[in-house]
Chain A
Amino acid sequence: MNALTKGLMMKDKAARKIKINILRFDPNIPNDRPRIDMFELEEAPGMTLFIALNDIREHHDASLKFDFVCRAGICGSCSMLINGRPGLACRTLTSTMEPEIMLAPLPLFELIGDLSVYTGNWMRGLNERLETWIHTQEEVDVERLEERMEPELAEEIYELDRCIECGCCVAGCGTIQMREEFVGAVGLNKIARYRLDPRDKRDDDDYYELVGDEDGVFGCMTLLGCEDVCPKELPLQSKIAYLRRKMVEVGLNKKD
């Protein structure tokens, strides 16, 4: 029985009361201080944390701030710390948890207020720093057919392209908590993605300039928090290991 059917079967039983504790703080409100607010609500069948938060905002406290767009695990907006672990609110069924739940905003990112953080700003900085776009000298000719690619390779690139920049891997990374300059799994995954892409003409020496240091792949301590919390189940462990092997090869052959 998977979590969803378990959640749907709930309706046969008496509805459970759940307590949701939320760490609240809005840096934009003068004199606001961090506090924990507790909301008690009745669990509905198939209730996700995203539904519960909307319930709270509708019936308990209209000032509660949290982000969501797609409610289907595609946009990556509703990432937060759920009982201390990063995850997407829309993909977390309350029925899979104890009746007392603790929610907090993702650490490291700029806090907008309560559970809402500005991941976009951070991710943009990362993308600019790692130049996560196709680098090529070829003139783009929109009239011409695109170059063919093996379906397996296209699949492989697409697999890594599924990253939604939700920030869960960043919040689950012990390394980046200590050393904020570290690029994190999201950054390393992107480099792995462009490295696979034959349209990107950069070689390993170029990638070494981007991630061949202790803020890059050599900073990774293989704690694998990223791998274990990624809501899209990206193959972060094997891609980081792969990148490490390639970058060590470059480093060991370097002259300086």
Chain B
Amino acid sequence: MKHDRLHKSVDAYLKLHNSSTPARLDFVQSVTGFILALFIMGHILFEATILISKDAMYAMTRFFEGYYFFGETYPGIISFLAAAIFIILIVHTLAALRKFPSNYRQYSIFRKHSAEFRHNDTTLWLWQVITGFMMFFLASVHLYMMMTNPGDIGPFASADRIVSGWMWPLYLVLLISVVLHTFIGLYRLALKWGWFEGKKPKESRKVMKKIMIAAIVFYIGIGLAALGAYIVIGIEHSDKVGARYHPTEGGQQ
């Protein structure tokens, strides 16, 4: 068909073929976003082990440092993971950037449209842009620190970083933006590709939106509680900054 059409007129000869890049970019944006979303869902739960006990958080840290596989700890694993996530984040940002308003005119048109339209999913996208933009900076700082100081994770080390190292304001804003971005993103991903559509897509969408809201509330709640716990520990530990945690008797060694 294509060739018949091409031969029909000179006009058709002049028509350039569509490149495969837009398809690849769309695909890559979704795949990287999905990986990052899964990572964040795990990450926030793992760090919240501090809510169980210092020993639980300590054991979790040792787990990710490979202690239970190799018999000793390798913080380099954390560096490697952080670097991998950083690369995925950069690719995701690169792919997602093409959707950003590219000048003030586009931005103001969209703001005006969204304000007048009062349409929830249109407004949600604006949240994606805002939280995404915030994370250019917030997530980069956090990831770079984890890459370069992978050993500084633990009940006292993390708490010291948060309180004495003045990381809590950054973590607070990062937590809220990353949770919003993650679950709005997953909701939009499902709609974009038609996942869980079922026989009644409109009904499925309502259910998915409810799940999205529930997940946002849950993760921000648990994230804030964990951050609060680290802050309390950090304040108590502020005169012994740098000292490491040693598990209690009977705790994981």
A residues sitting closer than 8 Å to B (CB atoms) are 81, 84-85, 107, 135, 137, 172, 174, 177-179, 201-203, 205-206, 208-209, 212-214, 216, 218, 220-225, 227-228, 235, 237-238, 241-242, 244-245, 247-248, 250-252, 254-256
In contact, A213 and B197 (Cβ under 8 angstroms): no
Q: Does B91 contact A (CB under 8 A)?
A: no
In contact, B22 and A244 (Cβ under 8 angstroms): no
Instruction: Give the residues in chain B near A256, CB-CB below 8 Å.
Output: 17, 19-20
In contact, B192 and A174 (Cβ under 8 angstroms): no
Summarize B's interface: helix, strand, loop or mixed.
helix
Between-chain CB contacts (< 8 Å), 25 pairs: A84-B117, A85-B118, A135-B1, A174-B114, A177-B110, A205-B2, A213-B22, A221-B99, A221-B125, A222-B121, A222-B188, A223-B122, A224-B121, A224-B122, A225-B121, A235-B201, A237-B205, A241-B191, A241-B197, A244-B194, A245-B194, A251-B24, A252-B23, A254-B19, A254-B20
**How many residues belonging to B are interface residues under a CB distance threshold of 8 Å?**
39
Instruction: Give the residues in chain B near A218, CB-CB below 8 Å.
Output: 22-23, 25-26
- Minimum CB–CB distance for A105 against chain B, Å: 13
Bound: A84/B23 CA distance, A: 33
Instruction: Give the residues in chain A near B13, CB-CB below 8 Å.
Output: none
One of B24, B119, B193 near A223 (C-beta < 8 A): B119
Known: A209-B17, A238-B197. A84 touches B118 (CB 8 A): yes
Bound: A25/B74 CA distance, A: 71
- Minimum CB–CB distance for B197 against chain A, Å: 6
Bound: A228/B124 CA distance, A: 14
In contact, A212 and B119 (Cβ under 8 angstroms): no
Instruction: Give the residues in chain A near B4, CB-CB below 8 Å.
Output: 137
Beyond A84-B116, A85-B117, A223-B122, 18 additional contacts (C-beta under 8 Å) are A81-B116, A135-B5, A174-B110, A174-B113, A174-B114, A174-B122, A178-B110, A208-B23, A212-B18, A218-B26, A222-B121, A237-B191, A237-B194, A245-B194, A251-B23, A251-B26, A252-B27, A255-B20
In contact, A213 and B19 (Cβ under 8 angstroms): yes
Bound: A85/B117 CA distance, A: 5
Instruction: Give the residues in chain B near A255, CB-CB below 8 Å.
Output: 20
In contact, A179 and B106 (Cβ under 8 angstroms): yes
One of A85, A222, A235 near B192 (C-beta < 8 A): A222
Bound: A207/B9 CA distance, A: 19
Q: Does B214 contact A (CB under 8 A)?
A: no
Bound: A82/B154 CA distance, A: 57
In contact, A244 and B193 (Cβ under 8 angstroms): yes
In contact, A212 and B192 (Cβ under 8 angstroms): no
Instruction: Give the residues in chain B near A206, CB-CB below 8 Å.
Output: 1-2, 5
- Minimum CB–CB distance for B47 against chain A, Å: 31
Q: Which A-B residue pairs are the 9 nearest by beta carbons?
A: A251-B23, A241-B194, A254-B20, A84-B116, A218-B22, A178-B106, A212-B18, A222-B192, A251-B20
In contact, B119 and A172 (Cβ under 8 angstroms): yes
In contact, B22 and A241 (Cβ under 8 angstroms): no
Instruction: Give the residues in chain B near A238, CB-CB below 8 Å.
Output: 194, 197, 201
Instruction: Give the residues in chain A near B118, CB-CB below 8 Å.
Output: 84-85
Instruction: Give the residues in chain B near A242, CB-CB below 8 Å.
Output: 194
One of B23, B119, B194 near A228 (C-beta < 8 A): B119
Bound: A90/B134 CA distance, A: 44
Q: Does B101 contact A (CB under 8 A)?
A: yes
Known: A237-B191, A241-B192. A174 touches B125 (CB 8 A): yes
One of A178, A209, A251 near B22 (C-beta < 8 A): A251
The chain A residue sitting closest to B108, CB to CB, is A178
One of A177, A201, A252 near B1 (C-beta < 8 A): A201
The chain B residue sitting closest to A209, CB to CB, is B18
Q: Which of B113-158 contact A (CB under 8 A)?
A: 113-114, 116-119, 121-122, 125
Instruction: Give the residues in chain B near A228, CB-CB below 8 Å.
Output: 119, 121
Bound: A85/B121 CA distance, A: 14
Instruction: Give the residues in chain A near B38, CB-CB below 8 Å.
Output: none
One of A81, A225, A251 near B122 (C-beta < 8 A): A225
Q: Which of B88-122 contact A (CB under 8 A)?
A: 98-99, 101, 106, 109-110, 113-114, 116-119, 121-122
